[in-house]
Structure 1
Amino acid sequence: MATHFKSLIFPVSLAAAFAIPATASADVVKMAFIDPLSGAFAPVGQGILKSWQFIAEKANAEKWAGPNTFEIVGFDNKGSPQESLSQLKSAIDQGYRYIIQGNGSGVALALVDAINKHNERNPGKEVLFLNYAAVDPDLTNSKCSFWHFRIDANSDMKMEAMTSYMAKDPNIKKVYIIGQNYSFGHQVTRAAKEYLKRKRPDIQIVGDDLHPIGQVKDFSPYVAKIKASGADTVITGNWGADLALLIKAAKEADLKTNFYTYYASTTGVPTAMGAAGAERVKYTGYWNVNNEKFVGKDLVEAYKKKYNDDYYVMATYTGLLMMGKAIKETKSTDPVKVAFAMEGMKVQSLNGEVEMRKADHQLQQPLYIATWTKVNGKDVKYDQENTGYGWKTDVKLDSYVATQPTSCQMKRPS
């Protein structure tokens, strides 16, 4: 009798085990953040890594990905495409299947190529790339990849917004363009000339300079050229130390031109500007905490309290919100399933409704233009880097204003 009972209990136990749903075992979604954590751009990279980790804590607490949790670890690429490929290999060898990167389109292009090759050679071990700031348009055009998702607006989208705003200002007559000499810098100067010619052919381009990225310590010779050109406006895609040092040199030379930037809200630049940049420096981006309803202020305040630093890379929020939703909907952390789920996805982010365009994996989202202004407690409540100055929203542009066509011919896994 006892033997018969034992023979019955094993199949029942086995059946019960197989009846447990797969979601009962939660996964840790390991994400490798490959960006500069040392060198000239280290302050930017370190600050953004903290932002990703901060939002991951929120996502985990609020179960954005169901029972699964996000873990984000930094891998220092020293700003080098070659070092980035070494770090990618190291991350993959350690079991990471999600890559985050943003600082440098040259790096992003190298990573896309390497990830495409890895995924082709290693079915079942695919890797997905979340790009939060590498904005070369080629990444979602000729170089587009199923494995790459950009959650920032590309440089053409930002230039479309910027020049649409500039076109309405009759005081702009002479523009000087200065940027970093790599793929992104080239795209900025191309788009600035092309879009201004279309919208305001009367505006003169009085200068166009490209300088080595991360190598110029003194921008005074460049500022002297800007001053001599008679420019009333400067357009620059510079970021990190290259923008902070450019603004610092302009301040020291008492250059009175207005600056239209992409990245004046990034680490180190607000301090370099101080009072001298007030009412003269603008940026075009996908969010500003001093928005019409101060959406996201709770995150800004919590981040400030925790790190005594500023939360400004809102793509971290959008990126994990989308990934969490994809994981929850598919009940899977497999990058292939997550990628398919993210195609065409719409979510309500801090800047309104955003959509991951299926055709090219380029996020479509509203954009802001804002001006560096003294905190006034009304439309500028939040400052940056304890300067007493923050960003006043000039205009919020709907997604369609900056939308660009795509030449992407997406190849999807079967």
Structure 2
Amino acid sequence: MANAKTLLNLSVTAALALGAAAVHAQKGETVKIGWVDPLTGLMAPVGQNQIKSFQFVAEHFNKSNPAGVKFEMVPIDNKLSPQESTTAVKSLIDQGVRYIVQGNGSGAALAIMDALAKHNERNPGKEVVYLNYAAVDPDLTNSKCSYWHYRLDADTSMKMEALTSWVKDQADIKKIYLINQNYAHGHQVSRFGKEILARKRPDIQIVGDDLHPLAQVRDFAPYIAKIKASGADTVLTGNWGSDLTLLIKAANDQGLNVKFLTYYAGVTGTPTALGAAAEGRVYVVAYAHSNMPGEVGKLGDAFKAKFNDDYYTFATYSAFAMLSTAMAQAKTTDPAKVAATMEGLKFKSFNGEVEMRKGDHQLQQALFVTVWKKTDAKHPYSVENTGYGFQPVKAYDAYVASTPTSCQMKRP
């Protein structure tokens, strides 16, 4: 029979073994992530680039991440439709997927938030978490905020704060024409553009404010004619995908020689439309740019070498960095525990330490204003193999663009 000392040693050894097992409970586990965005229609090129980006960065993190997990993407085409997004969420949940990512369209984002709020309330212990990597309607982290929703992109108002901080010092900008897509994001760009410019540059005239259907306009020539007639020296737009590509193409075709202040000029198809004609005139406000240094810059080069395409949705990196850090700290992949850990989480992403603000689940990070210019030794990255790229003209720390929140978070 073992003596008391032996039994004590065995107990201690067993306890240590259990503790070690708990620390690495998630190691080697495969975490499926559902991707819900367009793979067909006018915005298909954007979605195709972004699913490739998620799969590529998942492979990168699968080599090494704090939690030791393996990430696997499960894509579903939502055709840019809120209704299709809800159907996709149900399908993913039926497949056992517990994490969902989406970014193209705030209407689809809201549909996913509503679907998950209902599912999680009815199915305790089977919760699903939503990481939003590009839907930027401020309401998603304000009046419509949800505990299960975490936004990795900067919202429309945050980007407008940074962009207008730059505009404030540009004396040659005097007349701005607003043109945006007729849905939540476009409405917010128009609203915040007017409100914040009135505060920072009350002398600037708003000489036009157009809204057009999302992903339906094939010829922007009539809009460009209106902009030319207005006498605008600058166009401010939140357009993305085909709606920005075709707008820029029409501007070049009609010789509209004005500045374009944009959110998404780096998205698939638009850089090629910019070409040499747009050099020094097209600006972007974003949380990253095509000449980012360090690990993510090397990732971009590897992505280009593999796909002959550009890696521009850098929030994919933040998604895996945040998830793996939270899973390591929570010592589990259980979404309910990981969600609780992500609240207020500070983690290292491609742009330094960032924070997922607890009050509204809005990531706090630096923002950049960049301009379209010919590549040079300091900024060598050629976007869409054009010989041009987006070069930084101003960087803003997170606090500059951080906006207050009205979110009244209902926690489980």
Superposed pair shares fold, TM > 0.5? yes
Superposition map of 1:119-268 within 5 A:
119-268=120-269
Paired amino acid for 1:388: G
**Where has structure 1 moved over 3 Å in runs of 4 or more?**
none
Q: Secondary structure at the match of 2:101?
A: strand
The SS at the match of 1:393 is: strand
CA contact (8 A) 1:175 1:204 kept: yes
> How much does 1:353 deviate?
1.9
Which secondary structure state, in structure 2, belongs to the residue aligned with residue 309 of structure 1? coil
- Is structure 2 residue 89 aligned with structure 1 residue 100? no
Matches of 2:269 and 2:335, distance apart in 1: 35
For 1:348, the aligned partner's letter is K
Question: How many residues are aligned here?
Answer: 396
Q: Mark the CA change 1:117 to 1:24 in structure 2 (over 3 Å): closer, same or farther.
A: closer
For 1:223, give the aligned amino acid: I
Is the alpha carbon distance of 1:295 and 1:277 closer, same or farther for their aligned partners in structure 2, counting shifts above 3 Å? farther
**1:251-292: per-residue Cα shift (whole Å, max 9, x none)?**
10010010000000011100111111110000000011324x
**Pairing 1:45-64 to 2, within 5 Å after superposition:** 45-64=47-66
Partner of 2:325: 325
Where 2:384 maps in the other structure, the secondary structure is coil
How far has the Cα of 1:183 moved from its partner? 0.6
Shift of 1:307: 1.1
- The one-letter amino acid paired with 2:384 is E
Is 2:342 the counterpart of 1:342?
Answer: yes
CA distance in 1, matches of 2:349, 2:91: 32
Q: Deviation at 1:294?
A: 5.5
Kept after mapping to 2: 8 A contact 1:382/1:390: yes
In the alignment, residue 77 of structure 1 is paired with which amino acid? N
Instruction: Give the secondary structure class of the aligned counterpart of 1:348.
Output: strand
2:94 partner letter: D
Sequence identity of aligned pairs in percent? 60
1:401 is matched with 400
1:7 equivalent in structure 2: none
1:21 is paired with a residue whose SS is helix
After superposition, the C-alpha distances for 1:47-82 in whole angstroms (9 at most, x for unaligned) are: 01111111111111013422x211012100001111
Tell me how far apart the structure 2 counterparts of residues 242 and 65 of structure 1 sit (CA, whole Å): 40
1:45 counterpart letter in structure 2 = G
Separation of aligned partners in 2, 1:56 and 1:137? 28
Q: Equivalents in 2 of 1:385, 1:289: separation in Å?
A: 11
| Alignment correspondent of 1:381 | 380
What is the rounded CA distance, in whole Å, between the counterparts of 2:140 and 2:26 in structure 1?
37
CA shift digits 1:316-359 (9 cap, x unpaired)? 11111010001111111111111111111112222222110000
User: Using a 3 Å threshold, how does the CA distance of structure 1 residues 401 and 128 change in structure 2: closer, same or farther?
Assistant: same
SS at match of 2:326: helix
Output the CA distance in 2 between the equivalents of 1:259 and 1:352: 29
TM-score by length of 1: 0.93
Shift of residue 24 of structure 1?
Answer: 7.0
Structure 2 spans left out of the alignment, 5+ residues? 1-13
User: 2-side partners of 1:243 and 1:130: how far apart?
Assistant: 25
Cα distance in 2 between the residues matched to 1:25 and 1:402: 37
C-alpha distance in 2 between matches for 1:25 and 1:119: 25
Task: Assess if the C-alpha contact under 8 Å between 2:116 and 2:148 holds in 1.
Answer: yes
- Partner amino acid, structure 2, of 1:341: T
Letter paired with 2:361: H
The one-character-per-residue Cα deviations of 1:218-277 (angstroms, maximum 9, x if unpaired) are 000000000000000000000001000000000100100100000000111001111111
In the TM superposition, 1:343-382 aligns within 5 A as 343-378=343-378, 380-382=379-381
User: Which residue in the other structure is 2:38 paired with?
Assistant: 36
| Cα distance, 1:297 vs structure 2 | 1.8
Counterpart contact for 1:59–1:65, Cα < 8 Å: no
Answer whether contact 1:289 1:295 (CA < 8 A) is retained: no
Q: CA deviation at 1:21?
A: 2.5
State whether structure 2 residue 28 is matched by structure 1 residue 26.
yes
Alignment gaps of 5+ in structure 1: 1-14
CA contact under 8 A between 2:26 and 2:332: conserved in structure 1? no
- 23-32 or 310-319, which moves further after superposition? 23-32
Q: 1:248 to 1:118 in 2, by over 3 A?
A: same
- Aligned residue number for residue 12 of structure 1: none
Matched, 1:85 2:86: yes
2:290·2:391 contact (CA, 8 Å) conserved in 1? no
Decide whether the 8 Å contact of 2:26 with 2:67 is kept in 1: no
Q: Which residue of structure 2 lines up, in the alignment, with residue 11 of structure 1? A: none
Q: 1:25 Cα shift?
A: 6.6
Is the CA contact 1:375–1:389 (under 8 Å) kept in the aligned structure 2?
yes
The one-letter code sitting in structure 2 at the alignment partner of 1:395 is K
**Which residue is 2:6 aligned to?**
none
Instruction: Output one character per residue of 1:142-173: Cα deviation in whole Å (capped at 9) or x when no partner.
Output: 11111000000000000000111001101011
**Alpha-carbon distance change, 284 to 25 in structure 1, aligned in 2, over 3 angstroms:** closer
Instruction: Using structure 2 for the length normalisation, give the TM-score.
Output: 0.94
Structure-2 separation of matches of 1:152 and 1:42: 20
SS across alignment from 1:296: helix
* Two-structure CA RMSD over aligned residues (Å): 1.6
2: CA distance, partners of 1:296 / 1:145: 30
